[in-house]
Structure 1
């Protein structure tokens, strides 16, 4: 039932009740009142006539009285008859009109008025009155009054309806329509002008509520599609726009481009000045990049220190120019925080988007791979993807290792091997070996680490592998105390990811305490590159564990440009000379000189040296000649499964290795 019906129905009922009340109660009462008043007036008049006739009757002048009564009968249209009685009730005079004699009724009645003079009764005057015509006029007036009342009621009802329509129903309907559209997200529905009454207050309140919801939805929409730190488009919205651009490319044969940018060495800012400085760096850089891109392009922060740019309707050549401009912008950007100045580079992967580009996920994956190809090529450069891109093909091959590594961990298909490390001098010092990691594939073939470690490092799987190797090695040593008795030192390799992880350091300390293994028999080996790229964290990591008694070895020493500059800051005990110099030492005088220089530098700094890749006897002789402390390689002993190790076998291998030397 509509609001209009709900209002009009009570009005109609009230009107009908009022009509019934007027017709049944008020009008009859009015008629009775008018009739009684008329009778009073007649009685007063008859009384006046009686008083006027009384002196004449007292004098016996009856004829004059009769003439007066006859004349009165003729002058009063309602009078139907007049009678004059004496004191005994004898009729003295009677005269009636010539109309048909009417029976007594409410309309025909007789009024009796006593006549006296000087206190003496002279008789009575009786007047018969017929009020039929007057009552008919009264009833006609009643009907007219009812019609007038109905017209007034109708006018009142229509007036109320119009007022209700304009003041209440239309604004409410407008608010209802606006509410329905508001629920669908349409905020443009016009509303009535608010007045000063209660309805105006309601309209004003609704308008305020609508505006507040619109602002909230706008803010929520912005938060949903934009990065809260930089205010740039976020990854989700970027991918949506990229999907739209991809569909347009397929339908219109247009060409777009995607730039995937990753800042180089951004963690230096965080590590040096804290994450607050890092956030401010990203805010300022985001604003600077936003000023450089075209208005119809999309710049987004994809997460961490990664940015993306969607270049719409942009050929590859133009996209390359824009990428170079952004590269130069980031190179020239200088960030200052608390007196410290930072200048970073960026690695950019550029992927043209055409109708043959494939799915959204493939484009993003390709762009990510192109970006990391730029990093692998030396950072701070652009890698443009092409269909015959051999670099990305190799990287795609690395990506295939990720699920295989994860499955191997879950299914227990990783195994520990060991390889002996012996003193070049031949003097027996006890057993010294290195734990090596091998993976068993689905066909039970053993896979060497060079096949999967690079992928594990790139895709952040090394921390899990380092935990597995450390825990498994400690458990084996704990279960073989006889091997620990003959053990001088065993080496466990750690990745750069683990060096920067405080939880991993606590994990090692906990495992050492639980296993009861003497810390001085444990040596952790890290690559020179990993140590230098995480220098401060590496120094702290090494210092804490060395205080417990553990030792450290620096692997692949000499492969970096800054090896000697950083060496004095690293608390290591052993330098493992990079095998690239060792394997040709017997034939290449330059390699011989390099190994000799590294060995002498290490000894000057109080560190022992280990030569790897010792694959023939001639190399071992050259190492003795130079004075290297330890040797490791196929000429000494090949890697073997850890489960094959026992005391007798190990000591026999050690004697064979020393005898061969």
Structure 2
């Protein structure tokens, strides 16, 4: 407590000194004690200090102001109280307004405009109190009241726009909760050249003014141009400090009449000069805030595209991409470890999925702690982790066994229980030139399965029994649940409406076909397992062929239902887009059907598109020639390159549901949804918000211009018979 109090006292003393120094600079503008300074940087210093450290630092403003009048600028006693109150009270009220409007400030345009509004409020209040005090102290005549008020307000505002941004950056530089800032693009040499050019521009303005030129202000555009360059190339703190330095320099030259410049004498000249300086100090910061917002959105999209949201590790697609690159480079020994938790389903069933998530996070931390310095680490499935390490077989084996021991010893406290688990690890080492990633993964996956078959809580390397691994791989492919479900026709069609937010119609006119399947006991199961198995073992085209055939067959058998359909959306997997047999099948099936191709919309995902862009474009072109529509599903979670959208002929962008669900409380999600919607409209496409669950989310979607929405707020998925109001089949 004593150390904290001492720290606050030191901070208070430093802030008092800083405010006092800013006030002393402003004194240079004064000709008489009754004059009003054209530039009051102390206002920006006090504003930043109270915003950052809270109201407890407000007394430093009053103390510094008293010191100024006692030792530097004596004033009438009747004015002293007004002078102190004008600065301290106005700062407190302005900061209270900012904190009431936004609890936590971030570096973005909206928050910058909020600070600017607070600065205007500060200047207006301070000017009102100060001018009343000057009248009471007989320092100005009543007729000068408008001039003094406006000059006081602009002086405070210029001090705020010039000084506050840079001080807020400096005050927050060591805080961990600040927004991640853009990495610098320009190197030291470029920044050195920038500083030299800025110095030359300012010296040129000073020299030309001294020579008596009538147009020295023509050079004022050069510092602004250089500041815009800084906003585009350098970190925000660099631009903020540069803007402060340039604005202070120009304000001193213009306000003091230095370098041949004439000090403004009339109210009109003063207003024009100070207004120009305010704009000069605001524009670079607005630009750099705009760049920062775009950087934050793209960084968030990239993070979602490459990271598992639960653990923060690489996701499967990003891991596969980076692993292929590492194997392609060659040059060193690499070992792939595949970790699968044993009987993890029991944790979810006996406790809850929340408890299971806690355990997954704990295991992820253990994997990261063991391999972080030598490997690519990913969560590739519900309870599966992959590690590609720059280790030989012996080193990877030793670390793998340490990891198994750590997982076995780990406990997750949950509602009075201590939950534990074990894991099985498969391991394959590859020497340069490396085998293909698919082959390496297949061997390692089979080794992991072998470790499970041997009782779990163990590590199995492919070198231990290469022939056994080969046999195990064949057995795994022959026993897949997806193949069995397809063979026994246990896949069912379910539907969910897609609603036009501007003119909602019948729910049966526009909908998406979803899948459900039943296990051998007749229990209804989620499609996630079936789809994952199909993708993993290359059964995607067969599964999609089955679904498309079932949809067409059902609608053909129910013409009264088919007549209501304007758009029926069907999902296609990544492998299907590059399968020529499926393309031929679906084209021929549509030609034989009584249904119109325009009634069907094929949904594909971002990640499936980027795997083979050429074949995907060929497939889309062929289906569009028939009349089919296309939608890009789960947009925002894949590789998120907006550039390829110009060459991808789709009709709809379906915004991933994770963004829609966060609209109520996440400004980042709002920015992402807005960006995707604007890009969709710019390219002549429609935006669809997925997984809308509440009316408030619908209001947000409408306000952001999203065209369609889909989710529980309208209807949960239903069997196709119930969706069209027909008796369900038994």
**TM-score range with shorter-chain normalisation?**
0.3 to 0.5
What TM-score comes out, normalization by structure 2 length?
0.38
Bigger fraction of residues in strand: 1
* Structure of larger gyration radius: 1
Bigger fraction of residues in helix: 2
